[in-house]
Structure 1
Amino acid sequence: MNSCSTSSKPFAFDDPSSALAAMIDRLQAVDAEHVPLADACGRVLAEPVVTDRPSPACDVSAMDGYAVRRDELADDMTLPVCGEVATGQAPPELAAGHAVRIFTGGAVPAQADVVIRREDVEETAEVIRLRVPVVKIQPGANIRRCGENAPAGTRIAEPGTCITSPVAGAMASFGYVQAPVRRRVRVTILTTGNEVLGAESKPQPWQLRDSNGPSLWAMLNTLPWVDAQQPKHIADDPQTMAAAFGEALDCSDAVIATGGVSVGDHDHVPSVVRQAGCDVIFHGLPIRPGKPILGAIGPKGQVVFGLPGNPVSVMITARRMVIPVLRRIAGCRMAEDHPVLVRITNPDSRVLKMHWWRPARRTGADTVELIRSQGSGDVVSTAASDGFVELPPEASGPGPWAFYPWSTNP
């Protein structure tokens, strides 16, 4: 059985969605640019896509067959064939009492008002004979009318739309050689922690190889509208951090830092962010993992996030909190996620007095199973997950609950 209640907490926001909305409301999309259509897949439209001519551009045949005048037809009659329309050719004139052979997509002669299907006639090279009663041949049959898909000047894709293969195909059909898109969002990733080493190192038992930088890099590099720089590691030193943040803010639309964001003696990120002139929107949310998360707006409108250093916290808070904010400055029409609802096949009775993000593996279209985890540092169990479910405060049971997959495109 499901249960759900809330309790007050000393946080700026009671839930992650409210915190997200507060940041998103403060942000503007990055500037626009034009790129070759061939390079625009996945990019975000900055302008509407408008048809430069009707679609179809003329009346065309929907079938292989014969273009004729409907009022000239009679049962079991024969008609001489006076020409042929191939796809991509201008149609000939249809002489009275004749038929024109036509193929699917061919332009219908102006004098014709119906196309008889090839299987509805007996044909030779010179004549055709009707095999069906005339009453079954309706005026306009098997003709796609000029502009029936869209007249000239129709908006067919709005700003904020990601250019998918159908959108790219439509743009090419209407003469777009260059695509008007938002420029890619420049993101700097900063990792912290004196105990953190590179993946190539041989750490001592009390040291760690960095997983936060590679996991963020992998998540962001799936997004064609993001230009993420290689992660940079900085020492837990206020001066070093201040210099790194200042440099990052100068060249980035978004800065994402991992670690050093709590209230310990060596957690310098919050003070460095404030000293850089950033306006902190929230520092701490009623969530697990990721409770110490910090979200801020830079002096020039940049996005700044400080994520807790534990690897699972980084992955989940980046997916749930960072990605929607990046969508906003990328100009995406829908910034926030619209998660699917799933049921948990192996629910337990554990509850928290905060929003709980639990890694899970998909078992069906609307079912998941929870991944047994040892906590926010357990990268092993998280690697076996497909995403995570979000349980409200004091909630338990099979759900349905919101599920956020690791895939990040809107």
Structure 2
Amino acid sequence: MISYRDAIERLLAPLSILPSETCALADATGRVLADTVTSPLALPSFDHAAMDGYALKAGASSRGGSEHHVHGSRAAGDVGHIAGAGVCEIMTGARLPQGFDAVIAVERTEMLQARPDGTPHRIRLLDDIAHDRNVRRMGTDVPRGANVLAAGTCIEPAQVMLLAALGVGHVAVVRRPRVAIVCTGKELQTGPTASLRDGQIHNSNGPYLTAALGRAGADVVSCETVDDTVHPYLEALQRAVEAGVDLVISTGAVSMGRYDFVPAALRHFGAQVLFHKVPMRPGKPLLAARLHTGPLVLALPGTPMAVAVGARFFVAPVLRAMCGQGSEPTLRAVLASAQHPKPGLRHFLRATLWLDDRGQLQARPVDQQEPFRIQPFANADAWIVLDEQAGDCAAGMPVEIASLELATPLRLSTGPDFSP
């Protein structure tokens, strides 16, 4: 038996970041940056108007009540020299003409005279206008050469917007972790539409892991179901090795029963067992090993919630380490109902979340925590994590929470500040 923290340390210690590859920005959503991105240009890339109005040079002649001739008009995308003094009609996003340093909003002016085509010829300012008013200066968002995104950042739509604005068409990303899934059990029926024979059940662990790993950015190379015997399991392991996977996840046959053959099978395969059994509920019999041929193996118990816990709290840290993302930040909520966990075990409880009247995040464990129950998992919002020393937990105390998904949806800034 090994503690959860020691187990995670043993899992992650030998791992290294996977190699990088080049990816088009259009295909980069969900990928992890392999290198820090440095801005190739400034944002904005030129001084421009923040609103529709009139560009002018601020000073004594630009006070409220002053009158000005309008020399030309500039829309976004227009270039060229604007001749003459006075003011220039300008639209939002248009480059500020040379010699001008402020913009007055069109609604803060009065048109005194129009040209035959309806364009303004002479206006009066209703307000004083100061230097830099309503002007977006070059580089005020991102200076040229600034570090804008750190290695290890997961590219989401917000990052795509930034990279696209910088004209970045390709990025270096970490290769997706390649994963093979092996589900054990002669009772498992892999076709969801197939009829079940007596004693059979539909395989839910395989589809769950495939979906969860895919959403977390892994490349699921295969998902097999094998019998409760050694040789089919070893053959599936061999196929995974030949496919060049980084991680093998198996479910079932890992405890102490007569048909729990996985520990012996892994030793027969020449694997180095890192640990077997972690004091936690659910999922205590979990086993981790490393094959001499390369891949890490995580053998999870077959009960659905043991698989979900193994995926969220063991597989997810492994995937993050392989992608160079480091550990997740700890999130907390207020416990809404008292809990009395068994001493010495780390408990993972499915829970619902809500904000109370004071804006505090509340977490309530669902009523039915048995590890075979899938419906409460589908209705839950998060996991509550009670560590081995939690003891009796009163309502109102802060507790650790974690998202249901392997990839944490809430991104907190815990590393270097890359803002300009």
TM-score (norm 1): 0.88
Greater mean deviation of Cα atoms: 241-250 or 17-26: 17-26
Structure 1 residues 143, 300: CA separation in 2 closer, same or farther (over 3 Å shift)? farther
134, 137, 143: which is aligned to 1:142? 134
- 2:163 corresponding residue in structure 1: 171
Structure 1 residues 300, 151: CA separation in 2 closer, same or farther (over 3 Å shift)? farther
Task: Write the distance in 1 (CA, Å) between the matches of 2:280 and 2:27.
Answer: 39
Greater mean deviation of Cα atoms: 25-34 or 344-353: 344-353
Task: Write the distance in 1 (CA, Å) between the matches of 2:248 and 2:366.
Answer: 31
Secondary structure in 1 matching 2:273: strand
- 1:4 corresponding residue in structure 2: none
- 1:372 corresponding residue in structure 2: 367
Instruction: Give the drift of 1:230.
Output: 4.5
Bigger RCO (CA 8 Å, 6+ sep) = 1
- 2:405 corresponding residue in structure 1: 407
Task: Write the distance in 2 (CA, Å) between the matches of 1:115 and 1:382.
Answer: 56
Contact 1:91 1:108 in 2 (8 A): no
291, 299, 308: which is aligned to 1:306? 299
Secondary structure in 2 matching 1:231: strand
Greater mean deviation of Cα atoms: 27-36 or 265-274: 265-274
Letter in 2 for 1:88: G
Task: Write the distance in 1 (CA, Å) between the matches of 2:241 and 2:125.
Answer: 76
Task: Write the distance in 1 (CA, Å) between the matches of 2:203 and 2:237.
Answer: 19
- 1:284 corresponding residue in structure 2: 277
Task: Write the distance in 1 (CA, Å) between the matches of 2:8 and 2:68.
Answer: 70
- 1:264 corresponding residue in structure 2: 257
Letter in 1 for 2:261: H
41, 45, 66: which is aligned to 1:77? 66
What stretches of structure 1 of length at least 5 have no aligned partner?
Answer: 1-10
Q: Is it true that 1:92 corresponds to 2:87 in the alignment?
A: no
Instruction: Give the drift of 1:348.
Output: 3.9
- 1:356 corresponding residue in structure 2: 347
Task: Write the distance in 1 (CA, Å) between the matches of 2:110 and 2:164.
Answer: 40
Contact 1:342 1:401 in 2 (8 A): yes
Which digits, 9 at most, give the CA deviation of each residue in 1:30-69, with x for residues without a partner? 2222222111111111122221111111111112221112
Task: Write the distance in 1 (CA, Å) between the matches of 2:53 and 2:370.
Answer: 68
Report the aligned-residue RMSD: 2.2
Letter in 2 for 1:338: P
- 2:96 corresponding residue in structure 1: 108
323, 337, 345: which is aligned to 2:336? 345
The size of the alignment, in residue pairs, is 391
> In the TM superposition, what are the counterparts of 1:6-45 in structure 2 within 5 Å?
11-12=1-2, 14=3, 16-45=4-33
Greater mean deviation of Cα atoms: 307-316 or 169-178: 169-178
What stretches of structure 2 of length at least 5 have no aligned partner?
Answer: 114-119, 409-420
Secondary structure in 2 matching 1:126: strand
- What is the percent sequence identity of the aligned residues? 30
155, 166, 173: which is aligned to 1:181? 173
Structure 1 residues 158, 86: CA separation in 2 closer, same or farther (over 3 Å shift)? same
Instruction: Give the drift of 1:350.
Output: 4.7
Contact 1:289 1:312 in 2 (8 A): yes
Contact 2:25 2:160 in 1 (8 A): yes
Contact 2:349 2:369 in 1 (8 A): no
Structure 1 residues 30, 188: CA separation in 2 closer, same or farther (over 3 Å shift)? same
Structure 1 residues 127, 299: CA separation in 2 closer, same or farther (over 3 Å shift)? farther
Instruction: Give the drift of 1:200.
Output: 3.9
Letter in 1 for 2:305: V
Task: Write the distance in 2 (CA, Å) between the matches of 1:396 and 1:204.
Answer: 45
- 2:412 corresponding residue in structure 1: none
Contact 1:246 1:276 in 2 (8 A): no
